[in-house]
Structure 1
Amino acid sequence: MPIINKKALSETDIISKFIMPAIKNAGWDDMFQIRQEVKLRDGKVVVRGMAAARKTVKSADIVLYHKVSMPLAVVEAKGNKHEMGKGIQQGLDYARLLDVPFVFASNGDGFIFHDKTNPAALEREITLDEFPSPQELWAKYCQFKGYTAQQLPIITQDYYDDGSGKAPRYYQLQAVNKTIEAVSNGQNRVLLVMATGTGKTYTAFQIIWRLWKARAKKRILFLADRNVLVDQTKSGDFQPFGQAMTKISGRKVDPAYEIHLALYQALTGPEESQKAYKQVDPDFFDLIVIDECHRGSAADDSAWREILEYFKGATQIGLTATPKETEEVSNSDYFGDPAYMYSLKEGIEDGFLAPYKVVRVDIDIDLQGWRPIKGQVDKKGNVIEDRIYNLKDFDRTMVIDERTQLVAETITNYLKRTNPMDKTIVFCNDIDHADRMRRALVNLNPEQVARNEKYVMKITGDDALGKAQLDNFINPKKAYPVIATTSELMTTGVDAKTCKLVVLDQSIQSMTKFKQIIGRGTRIDDKYNKLWFTILDFKKATELFADEGFDGVPEKVIVTKPNDINDPDSDFDDIIEGEGNTDDEHENTDTPDFPDAANNEDNGFPEGEMGGDWQDEEKVNKYHVNGVKVLKVAERVQYYDTDGKLVTESFKDYTRKTLTQQYATLDEFVKKWNSAERKQTIIDELSAEGIIWDGLEQEVGKDLDPFDMICHVVFDQPALTRKERVNNVKKRNYFTQYSEQAQNVLNRLLEKYTDAGVGELENVQTIKVFPFTEIGSFSEILKKGFGGRAQYDQAITELEQAIYAAEQDRSA
């Protein structure tokens, strides 16, 4: 039998010939327990200007499972030219994401075994034949976790699998597994914090499914505060429950069902007759899952908290993207510390959530304020109170038509510059503001409205026609409506995956509300090319990005309320996160006077804490004026990193920073470029780091070869255009060594290089099409022109050397 030279084998060969046989020989099932090339992240999206690119991420070579979706170990492989433990650090990173204690690294000679369950010998070397069996690792894992015999049937209950191949993402796995673990251990209050757009409902479904199938929980109540959330859940992620599931309506709790979905409003109310939850005994439900638990259920004295208190013996799981911590309202006080957290920052870094750019617009009267002249009356003849009206007043207590017009013009112009059909949500202060904004946008877009009158729609809780278009707005397959003006209705629970523009013309002091609104744009939809979104900010709301409480669980805020919260000069709005003021009045509503509850859950209950927009009754006098000169002072683009810090770097800055981390000097980069067999490989590697070539070209203002672009932008070298490089090659009489036919081919390849870059030279398919077919067939060009494929490849290599000859001299 021939001797195998391991060092000449690729990493793939090492896996297939040595690592996989060792794993299978230890008893691991290839069908259910072994997965190769497991992609844990999608790759962060980098956006600059109007362009975006995904960073390429590596996959875990092998993940071993106790059973489907219950990972146990990570195996990282390297070629045999590397030492055995080369992949251990990479494996540890994947193990952290999967929350597993076992990591193996191998070069085909044996394994370095990192075993967190054995602190006395954390890492040791084992032979290929000593790879542990599934039973051995599972026993160590259970001991490490401290599982009891009573917990195991629940913990090992299968996930739901629809056969489509869809599997939970790594953070969803952690959220589900940690919750199941906590519940099986007798914990009755569990909090999960997951950023908007990361699949909280799907995660909740898998938790409920496993507990239900294991018969650990037999009757389950899923609570939400918005009709759209309940309906989306029932027809979407929860659909597999089938006939076992019902939506509570008509204030009737039917005990024949096991899975109950309900609005808070459908179960309770200020009148005793409305407290439908009392139709069943306090021990009827043994599991309650509360969606968006930062809202009504978070407050101690909330009318809805009485539902949770009534079923206090049930296990209660709270889901939120925005946990609330103030003196009056606390998620952690009720649920305890989160069992698991997955933040917006992590979602953007992993590439599961869309990054954003901010366009800040400053208007003169917003900055300077506006004061009426003595005795001035508004459009209704009311004498205007003599004081300075500022940013917080506009469209709340003071309406200036020219300001509304300027905001609408700015939105329209932005969409015209980008794409007039990009889905856009305009957040206004109240329904009146949303109505006026819709009208201004309609008048500014007559051609679009003529094509479809639903181009701009007001979608608020008081408008049945507009609200009926909500499903069409969030459906990527439906082009209309394009622009939605709203106030409260769409702040949360609206899964608008293709929303590309979020407009903030609403005063927002509540961090909770701000994060919910930003969440309307953070979903990614690769199919529809939605990788990032823009925030058009007229109210300085994006300054909240810099707040330490923007991402993660906020520390509890203790506040002291001023004596008069209606005082326009009061700082109350700034310190109370909008609680109790007109900005966030629905967030802390306890027992609002909602209409007859029999209609609430069936007829699309309006939005907000108890429906939101329908509560927007004017509580203060609102003046309405026109004839005011209003000017836009500034419009500037800002980028924020995942820590909420302002990033001022351009495409050039980002490229320079990224490349200098890899290549300390020009000489180092040139040598790497010249030694590469295919230049396109380096170009692809740089693209994978988020280098956006189109964006660089626009910013630099030159059509440069990627090589010259890097030399120029990163190392401040004078740049040659591709055409100049081609002319230099021709001046050297380079082609005289080739036959006439070969010279003809190479000259045309240089033309291709001039037009499209080095990739055209290296793609052999180029010579299979026009104009090369005029010279001869593919085989004729290779054989007659160059003497064969090997000689052709060598000619291309030498041609590239000639193109970059000056750089070879410079780096020598």
Structure 2
Amino acid sequence: MDRNPSGKGGIDYVLWGDNGNPLALVETKRTKKTAEIGQQQAKLYADCLEQKFGQRPLIFYSNGYQTYLWDDYTYPPREIQGFLKKDELERLIFRRKNRKKLHLVPVNNDIFNRSYQTEAIRQITEAFSQNIRKALLVMATGTGKTRTSIALIDLLKRANWVNRVLFLADREALVTQAFRAFKSHLPQANIIDLTKSKTSQAITANIVVSTYPTMFNRLNDMGDKERMFGVGHFDLIIVDEAHRSIYQKYQTLFDYFDGLLVGLTATPRNEVHRDTYRIFELESGVPTFAYELDDAIKDGYLVPPQGINVPFKFLRTGVKYTELSPEEQEEYEAKFYDEEKDTLPNKIDSTALNRWLFNENSIDQALDILMEFGLKVEGGDKLGKTIIFARNHEHAEFIVQRFNKNYRHYKGHFARVIDSHDP
């Protein structure tokens, strides 16, 4: 062997399959040395095992702190968070001979029929075919990110590239929505909503749909026991609404699983934080594929927003006492008169007014305008789905309180707060 005059050497560990062929070998080094120092030696051992058994093993090398996996049939070495389980190793070996060339596998047009969705999948599969393991899709809200991800999963499964998939979203409502979509378009797949299931039920599932905290907690609740989800359990991880705050909070979750990674976001490409591009190993501002609001409007899939004039200019520009009507001056005095200093400011700027947004009258007026001029459904009798952007969580809660008070006939079911406080 190279670097060994005798041509002999001892392999630290070999992991064998039931058929007597080597699945993987492990080359270990002392902790005071780098793990990479064992790479070449491990390769030589793999050469020998392949020559003897006709099957090249997967290569691991580690110093106890860092562990690398090298499947030199397909990818360069990559750092992983642990060793793969037997069935996970067997899947990787199986794919060497059985995975198909992705450009030869057709997209299932029964799942969608829009050309940009096909292009999105082709851009991802082209990246995967070039041994790139991460992809980021930027697609405007309403253009079918979930449907696109379902079609991607379908194609990769038919091509023998993936078997187990993890779909992550940041809220239970989105998980439920995605779960229903998966059930509808992939009826033959074993799909589990982890937020409503035991971990043991999810182990055999083809597709696991979960919130970030649910999966994070399931991994950490095992204590000293072996984790039921191994490092290589999932072949593909799809991250819904991929943005910087998610990775800041759950970075260890993405580091733990060794699978292909696809991020979905509706944030315009120029507004996606550079840290998100860095996580996906992409140049800032250059996602794998982008189909943004202007594209969807031009193609006729979405309509542009239309503004209306509302009597809230003062929230943007501030307000001057001298420009108010007598009734408004009376309210102004009640709100902003400083009894201790016996002063009344001549003007209130927009920043100060925004701190005053908890004023019941202001919120009630805004809600009245929304209910009168907002887009209607059901023959014009009901307000359609609407988003109200609040200043913060407390402001949002206050808006809902005012809505429920003013529109009692909806019995508290019409408006709700959806933000990071939502489970």
**Which of 354, 366, 374 is the aligned partner of 2:338?**
374
Check 1:217–1:390 CA distance in 2 against 1; reply closer, same or farther (3 A cut).
same
Match of 1:637 in 2: none
Match of 1:284 in 2: 233
Partner of 2:310, secondary structure, is: strand
Asked if 1 retains the 8 angstrom alpha-carbon contact of 2:337 and 2:344, the reply is no
Partner of 1:357, secondary structure, is: coil
Post-superposition offset of 1:396: 4.6
- Percent identical among aligned pairs is 21
**Which of 215, 218, 241 is the aligned partner of 1:267?**
215
1:351 aligns with 2:300: yes
Deviation string, structure 1 residues 47-82 (Cα, Å, up to 9, x no partner) = xxxxxxxxxxxxxxxxxxxxxxxxxxxxxxxxxxxx
Match of 1:174 in 2: 119
- Specify the code of the residue in structure 1 equivalent to 2:249: A
- Specify the code of the residue in structure 1 equivalent to 2:307: V
| Counterparts of 1:360 and 1:158, CA distance in 2 | 49
1:217 aligns with 2:162: yes
Match of 1:775 in 2: none
- Alignment of structure 1 residues 660-699 onto 2, 5 Å: none
- Alignment of structure 1 residues 185-334 onto 2, 5 Å: 185-239=130-184, 240-249=186-195, 252=199, 254-269=202-217, 272-273=220-221, 278-294=227-243, 296-297=245-246, 299=247, 302-311=248-257, 313-322=258-267, 330-334=275-279
Post-superposition offset of 1:432: 3.4
Asked if 2 retains the 8 angstrom alpha-carbon contact of 1:324 and 1:331, the reply is no
Partner of 2:107, secondary structure, is: coil
- Alignment of structure 1 residues 334-349 onto 2, 5 Å: 334-335=279-280, 336=282, 337-349=286-298
What TM-score comes out, normalization by structure 2 length?
Answer: 0.60
Post-superposition offset of 1:197: 0.5
| Counterparts of 1:277 and 1:341, CA distance in 2 | 40
**Which of 369, 379, 403 is the aligned partner of 1:410?**
369
Check 1:309–1:440 CA distance in 2 against 1; reply closer, same or farther (3 A cut).
same
Match of 1:432 in 2: 397
| Counterparts of 1:277 and 1:359, CA distance in 2 | 59
Asked if 1 retains the 8 angstrom alpha-carbon contact of 2:241 and 2:266, the reply is yes
Partner of 2:338, secondary structure, is: coil
1:421 aligns with 2:385: no
Match of 1:69 in 2: none
| Counterparts of 2:363 and 2:405, CA distance in 1 | 7
Asked if 2 retains the 8 angstrom alpha-carbon contact of 1:296 and 1:305, the reply is no
Post-superposition offset of 1:209: 0.8
Post-superposition offset of 1:345: 0.3
Asked if 1 retains the 8 angstrom alpha-carbon contact of 2:137 and 2:262, the reply is yes
Partner of 2:369, secondary structure, is: helix
Asked if 2 retains the 8 angstrom alpha-carbon contact of 1:395 and 1:433, the reply is no
Asked if 1 retains the 8 angstrom alpha-carbon contact of 2:141 and 2:266, the reply is yes
Partner of 1:223, secondary structure, is: strand
Post-superposition offset of 1:285: 1.4
| Counterparts of 1:303 and 1:389, CA distance in 2 | 38
Deviation string, structure 1 residues 208-227 (Cα, Å, up to 9, x no partner) = 11111221112211111111
1:159 aligns with 2:92: no
| Counterparts of 1:395 and 1:308, CA distance in 2 | 38
Check 1:420–1:384 CA distance in 2 against 1; reply closer, same or farther (3 A cut).
farther
Check 1:277–1:372 CA distance in 2 against 1; reply closer, same or farther (3 A cut).
farther
| Counterparts of 1:417 and 1:160, CA distance in 2 | 35
Post-superposition offset of 1:424: 5.1
- Alignment of structure 1 residues 439-588 onto 2, 5 Å: 439=404, 441-442=406-407, 453-454=409-410, 457=412, 466=413, 481=414, 484=415, 486-487=416-417, 489=418
Asked if 1 retains the 8 angstrom alpha-carbon contact of 2:166 and 2:236, the reply is yes
Partner of 1:262, secondary structure, is: strand
Post-superposition offset of 1:241: 4.6
- Specify the code of the residue in structure 2 equivalent to 1:423: G
Post-superposition offset of 1:339: 1.7
- Alignment of structure 1 residues 688-727 onto 2, 5 Å: none
Asked if 1 retains the 8 angstrom alpha-carbon contact of 2:203 and 2:228, the reply is no
Match of 1:400 in 2: 359
Asked if 1 retains the 8 angstrom alpha-carbon contact of 2:112 and 2:147, the reply is no
Could you list the runs of 5+ residues in structure 1 that have no partner in the other structure?
1-148, 377-382, 443-448, 458-465, 467-480, 490-606, 615-812
| Counterparts of 1:197 and 1:326, CA distance in 2 | 18
Check 1:440–1:393 CA distance in 2 against 1; reply closer, same or farther (3 A cut).
farther
Deviation string, structure 1 residues 461-485 (Cα, Å, up to 9, x no partner) = xxxxx3xxxxxxxxxxxxxx5xx4x
Instruction: Quote the RMSD (CA, aligned, Å).
Output: 3.9
Asked if 1 retains the 8 angstrom alpha-carbon contact of 2:98 and 2:160, the reply is no
| Counterparts of 1:207 and 1:151, CA distance in 2 | 15
Deviation string, structure 1 residues 242-291 (Cα, Å, up to 9, x no partner) = 44221223562632122111110111259943899943221221211111
- Specify the code of the residue in structure 2 equivalent to 1:425: T
Check 1:372–1:303 CA distance in 2 against 1; reply closer, same or farther (3 A cut).
same
Deviation string, structure 1 residues 485-515 (Cα, Å, up to 9, x no partner) = x45x1xxxxxxxxxxxxxxxxxxxxxxxxxx
Partner of 2:308, secondary structure, is: strand
Post-superposition offset of 1:317: 0.7
Post-superposition offset of 1:386: 8.6
Check 1:323–1:235 CA distance in 2 against 1; reply closer, same or farther (3 A cut).
same
Partner of 1:361, secondary structure, is: coil
Check 1:241–1:264 CA distance in 2 against 1; reply closer, same or farther (3 A cut).
farther
Could you list the runs of 5+ residues in structure 2 that have no partner in the other structure?
1-96, 320-331
Post-superposition offset of 1:408: 3.2
- Specify the code of the residue in structure 1 equivalent to 2:193: K
| Counterparts of 1:277 and 1:221, CA distance in 2 | 19
- Specify the code of the residue in structure 2 equivalent to 1:252: T
Partner of 1:168, secondary structure, is: coil
Deviation string, structure 1 residues 319-353 (Cα, Å, up to 9, x no partner) = 11115778976221111131211110010011001
Deviation string, structure 1 residues 625-651 (Cα, Å, up to 9, x no partner) = xxxxxxxxxxxxxxxxxxxxxxxxxxx
| Counterparts of 1:417 and 1:265, CA distance in 2 | 36
Partner of 1:190, secondary structure, is: strand
| Counterparts of 1:245 and 1:416, CA distance in 2 | 36
| Counterparts of 2:221 and 2:364, CA distance in 1 | 48
Match of 1:15 in 2: none
| Counterparts of 1:277 and 1:423, CA distance in 2 | 49
Match of 2:128 in 1: 183
Asked if 2 retains the 8 angstrom alpha-carbon contact of 1:268 and 1:277, the reply is no
Asked if 1 retains the 8 angstrom alpha-carbon contact of 2:137 and 2:290, the reply is yes
- Specify the code of the residue in structure 1 equivalent to 2:206: E
Asked if 2 retains the 8 angstrom alpha-carbon contact of 1:193 and 1:321, the reply is yes
- Specify the code of the residue in structure 2 equivalent to 1:433: F
Check 1:386–1:201 CA distance in 2 against 1; reply closer, same or farther (3 A cut).
same
336-345 or 264-273: bigger deviation: 264-273
Larger Rg: 1
Check 1:267–1:390 CA distance in 2 against 1; reply closer, same or farther (3 A cut).
farther
